[in-house]
Amino acid sequence: MQSRTKNPALVLPEAMTGIQHLIKAINQSGLPEGTRELVGLRASQINGCSACVYGHTKLARKSGESDDRLDNVAAWREAPFYTEAERAALALTEAATRLADRTGDGVPDEVWHAAAEHFDEQQLAGVILTIATTNFFNRINVTIQEPAGTTWG
């Protein structure tokens, strides 16, 4: 499989500059690296982005995540491998990624309050921006049909 076109963020260099600044800010939010990768992995699974599923899994393993935790992200509610903070981040990820699946309250108050209970303001900003950035890249990669394993280091 080959991508339809070059990644638009590489075609427009100013876009990549903005993305790099956003990622740097997320990395400085105090959100644990493992949580960032679990959030990115779950959003990418929902969106069917093989390139990002591959990339987040690879980065998560590099940061020390276990196979048990990575293999069960799609079933995190039933799996015993996650902290309450991670569960809150994953619930927020699902709600914010599946906005169109809900009528009215896209992110329910109980999901928001659970996340706010486990993360300070900067970390919560990191969760939200990780979700948004992952969804951004998922939409690009699915549109251009970016194959898994071709772009993440």
The domains located in the chain, with CATH, are 8-144 (1.20.1290.10)
pTM over 0.85: yes
How confident is the model over 105-131, as a mean pLDDT?
A: 97
Which of 31-35, 104-108, 149-153 has the largest mean confidence?
Answer: 31-35
pLDDT number for residue 100: 86
How confident is the model over 54-64, as a mean pLDDT?
A: 95
How confident is the model over 135-146, as a mean pLDDT?
A: 96
Greater model confidence, 58 or 1: 58
How confident is the model over 32-56, as a mean pLDDT?
A: 97
CA 137 to chain centre: 9
Helix (H) or strand (E) holding 63: none
DSSP state of 146: P
